[in-house]
């Protein structure tokens, strides 16, 4: 099934720093059915903070259907989409990212993953789309919740984290503050096909881990430890997992939250779906005592997830937000 997207008009003057010339990077590929997967996951979290997941068990039909339904939503008239906006933070948004002036060449929807909480803007998104869209989204979020939990279980086992399920339980519980973001980057205008612009500016994700999938269009880049940007080859059949700020804090910096961005340098539109696995709002985030028993060796102070999340919403995308945690 082919869905023709309705063109969206974007005026962006945010250009890419020419000094940041990306090159391909060998992203670690982890087979979740491999008996040694937990070792590879921890190594990837330590060295890059980012890896690809294969043999993940998520059905191809679900991925195809969700992509089709998302494309249908973004193909709606602008007036219909804007009935689900502006985001607060959930709902439909266009160009403006957050409340601190960040702009990007995209439109998006942000949906809460907690079925026990009702948000007006999330409901408004589904009111503009067929019932099937909501059903597919909810099934997909359950799959992502399972994948994020599995990755964290591997981390727990490899690092001998106690008590059992200390990390994975934060995602599994009903109170988990997780969400799903769908970003649509429209195809470039013909008059400026080679001009690179920022689709989504550089940032780290605040949550524990993020699980990303996109269509087969390039644009995603990650920042290495030396500050250089590298391109991540797209793979619509696999998922990418990135370490978030909360997990960096809980491992006392053993894992690194990876900075990433999306560039628009193609005539093809890009659709990405990111599941942000977050802890309950009241959960205290601090270095795990089983990893760092001595208080004086802990690099970060204790905060609740709600406190850090509220702080993040007030900052710009590129800000170093973890300074709020540092002692």
- Where in the sequence numbering do the catalytic residues fall? 270
pLDDT tens per residue across span 47-89: 999 999 999 999 999 999 999 999 999 999 999 999 999 998 8
Mean pLDDT value across residues 188-202: 74
What separation in angstroms does the CA of 236 have from each of 151, 244, 271? 20, 22, 10
Residue 11 has pLDDT above 90, yes or no: no
Residue 296 has pLDDT above 80, yes or no: yes
Residue 246 has pLDDT above 90, yes or no: yes
Residue given tokens 């028993």 in the structure block? 293
The structure's pTM equals 0.90
Mean pLDDT value across residues 295-320: 95
Residue 170 has pLDDT above 50, yes or no: yes
The 8-class DSSP code of residue 7 comes to P
pLDDT tens per residue across span 202-237: 999 999 999 999 999 999 999 998 999 999 999 999
Confidence of residue 172 (pLDDT cuts 50, 70, 90): very high
Q: How far apart are the C-alpha atoms of 91 and 87, rounded to whole Å?
A: 5
Mark 193-203 as b/e (b = at least 16 C-beta within 10 Å): eeebbbbbbbb
Q: What percent of the chain has pLDDT over 70?
A: 88
Confidence of residue 128 (pLDDT cuts 50, 70, 90): confident
The 8-class DSSP code of residue 267 comes to S
Confidence of residue 124 (pLDDT cuts 50, 70, 90): confident
What separation in angstroms does the CA of 158 have from each of 153, 154, 272? 9, 6, 30
Closest CA to 185 of 115, 99, 274, 124: 274
Cβ neighbour number for residue 302 with a 10 Å cutoff: 12
What's the chain's average pLDDT? Answer: 89
Q: Which residues contact 266 (CB under 8 A, 6 or more apart)?
A: 187, 188, 217, 218, 219
Residue 22 has pLDDT above 60, yes or no: no
pLDDT at 14: 39
Residue 3 has pLDDT above 90, yes or no: no
Residue 255, classed as helix, strand or coil, is coil
Closest CA to 255 of 293, 291, 280, 301: 291
Residue 187 has pLDDT above 90, yes or no: no
Residue 306 has pLDDT above 50, yes or no: yes
Q: How far apart are the C-alpha atoms of 181 and 106, rounded to whole Å?
A: 12
Cβ proximity of 274 and 313 under 8 Å: no
* Extended beta strands in the chain, E state: 23-24, 29-31, 50-54, 91-97, 102-112, 179-185, 197-203, 209-214, 220-223, 229-231, 239-243, 260-264, 270-277, 284-285, 303-304
pLDDT tens per residue across span 262-275: 998 667 899 999 99
Q: How far apart are the C-alpha atoms of 233 and 22, rounded to whole Å?
A: 11
Q: Which range is least confidently modeled, 87-91, 279-283, 290-294? A: 87-91
Mean pLDDT value across residues 124-152: 94
């Amino acid at each position: 099934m082919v869905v023709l997207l309705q063109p969206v008009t974007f005026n962006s003057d945010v250009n890419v720093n020419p000094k940041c010339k990306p090159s391909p990077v060998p992203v670690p590929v982890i087979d979740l059915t491999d008996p040694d997967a937990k070792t590879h996951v921890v190594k990837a979290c330590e060295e890059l903070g980012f890896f690809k997941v294969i043999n993940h068990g998520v059905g191809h039909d679900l991925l195809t259907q969700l992509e089709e339904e998302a494309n249908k939503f973004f193909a709606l008239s602008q007036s219909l989409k804007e009935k689900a906006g502006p985001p607060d933070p959930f709902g439909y948004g266009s160009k403006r990212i957050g409340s601190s002036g960040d702009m990007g060449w995209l439109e998006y929807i942000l949906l809460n993953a907690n079925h026990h909480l009702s948000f007006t803007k999330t409901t408004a998104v589904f009111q503009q789309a067929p019932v099937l869209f909501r059903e597919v989204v909810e099934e997909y979020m359950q799959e992502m919740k399972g994948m994020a939990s599995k990755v964290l279980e591997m981390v727990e086992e490899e690092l001998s984290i106690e008590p059992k399920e200390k990390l994975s339980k934060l995602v599994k519980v009903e109170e988990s503050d997780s969400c799903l973001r769908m970003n649509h980057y429209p195809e470039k205008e013909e008059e400026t096909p080679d001009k690179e612009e920022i689709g989504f500016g550089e940032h780290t994700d605040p949550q524990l881990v993020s699980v990303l999938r996109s269509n087969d269009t390039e644009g995603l880049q990650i920042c290495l430890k030396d500050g250089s940007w590298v391109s991540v080859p797209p793979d619509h059949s696999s998922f990418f997992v990135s370490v978030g700020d909360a997990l960096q804090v809980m491992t006392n910096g053993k894992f690194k939250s990876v900075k990433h961005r999306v560039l628009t340098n193609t005539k093809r539109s890009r659709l990405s779906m990111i599941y942000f696995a977050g802890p309950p709002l009241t959960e205290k985030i601090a270095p795990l005592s089983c990893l760092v028993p001595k208080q004086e060796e802990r690099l970060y102070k204790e905060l609740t997830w709600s406190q850090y999340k509220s702080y993040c919403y007030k900052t710009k995308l590129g800000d170093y937000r973890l300074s709020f945690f540092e002692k």
